[in-house]
Amino acid sequence: MRKLWLGLMTIWILMPLPLHAGTVDINPEYNALNTQAQQSMALSPPELKELLLRCTNLQTRLPELSGAEKKIMHRKLRRLCALFSYVLASKQSPPK
Q: What is the nearest approach in angstroms of ligand HEC to the Cβ of residue 91?
A: 8
Q: Segment 53-92, which members bind other proteins (CB under 8 A)?
A: 68-69, 71-72, 75-76, 79-80, 82-83, 86-87, 89-90
Q: Does 34 bind ligand HEC (CB under 6 A)?
A: no
The CA-based angle 73-56-28, given to 5 degrees, is 50
The answer for residues whose C-beta is within 8 angstroms of residue 32's C-beta and 6 or more apart is none
Q: Which of 41, 46, 63, 92 binds ligand HEC (CB under 6 A)?
A: 41
| Of 46, 45, 61, 51, the residue nearest 81 (C-alpha) | 51
How many angstroms separate the CA atoms of 74 and 87, rounded?
Answer: 20
Q: Which of 35, 38, 60, 92 binds ligand HEC (CB under 6 A)?
A: 38
Residue ranges in contact with ligand HEC by CB under 6 A? 38, 40-41, 87, 90, 95
